[in-house]
Amino acid sequence: MTQVIDNPHRYGLVSRVLHWGMAILFAAQFLSAAAHWALPRENALRETLWSYHITLGTTLFLLVLIRGVWGLVNLKRRPSHSGPMGTAASAGQALIYALMIIVPGVRILASAGSTRGLSYLGLEIFSPQAAEFAWMQAPAEWHGEMGWILALVVLGHILMALVWHRMIKRDDVLATMAGR
């Protein structure tokens, strides 16, 4: 029977759907950021990919909060890491979580304190301000840079899973998230 919650041998259905679903959505988000960075302003592909950046970024912010709460609820029973490599893996995961909150968080904060406000799926989340709040804009100066750092850390995470665990150690770490 499909296990919904996590256990020490593998992640449950909710954790796995959140993990792989968010992996796909993050890939799309990095694609939009890469197009924004690499293609000229008037390029049609850049416009198309960029058109979903704010909505998808806000969705990812909400999903990471849900995932964080679910992770805390399952903290005691989910697969754990041991040894120095395990400690490094836990530190890497903590960094990914922190960046997944901070990267969209600083931009959402900037929108809340801007003259444009923020709408999400047709709903007005923050109405436009009469004037910009400088302190709410300041952290967003680093949004792009922190976004690229997140992309690098995610790349490291993928390489660790595929190269270290699957090819070198040949352990079952990847299987705990694959559901086998």
Residues lying near ligand HEM in the complex (CB under 6 A): 29, 33, 36-37, 53-54, 57-58, 60-61, 100, 103-104, 107-108, 111, 118, 140, 143-144, 147-148, 150
Nearest alpha-carbon partner for 85 in 152, 163, 154, 14? 163
Closest approach, Cβ 65 to ligand HEM, in A, equals 12
Burial of 15 (0-12, 13-18, 19+ CB in 10 A): buried
Closest approach, Cβ 161 to ligand HEM, in A, equals 19
Quick one: 89 or 150, whose CB is closer to ligand HEM?
A: 150
Task: Please write down the long-range contacts of 92-95, taking CB distance under 8 Å and 24 or more positions apart.
Answer: 92/153, 92/156, 92/157, 92/160, 93/157, 95/153
Give strand ranges (E) for the chain: 118-120, 123-126
Closest approach, Cβ 23 to ligand HEM, in A, equals 12
Quick one: 140 or 160, whose CB is closer to ligand HEM?
A: 140
Quick one: 141 or 171, whose CB is closer to ligand HEM?
A: 141
Closest approach, Cβ 90 to ligand HEM, in A, equals 21
Quick one: 112 or 175, whose CB is closer to ligand HEM?
A: 112
What six digits make up the tokens of 53? 């950046």
Closest approach, Cβ 87 to ligand HEM, in A, equals 26
Phi-psi region of 45 (alpha: psi -120 to 50; beta: other; left: phi over 0): alpha
What six digits make up the tokens of 180? 């086998």
The closest residue (CB) to ligand HEM is 57
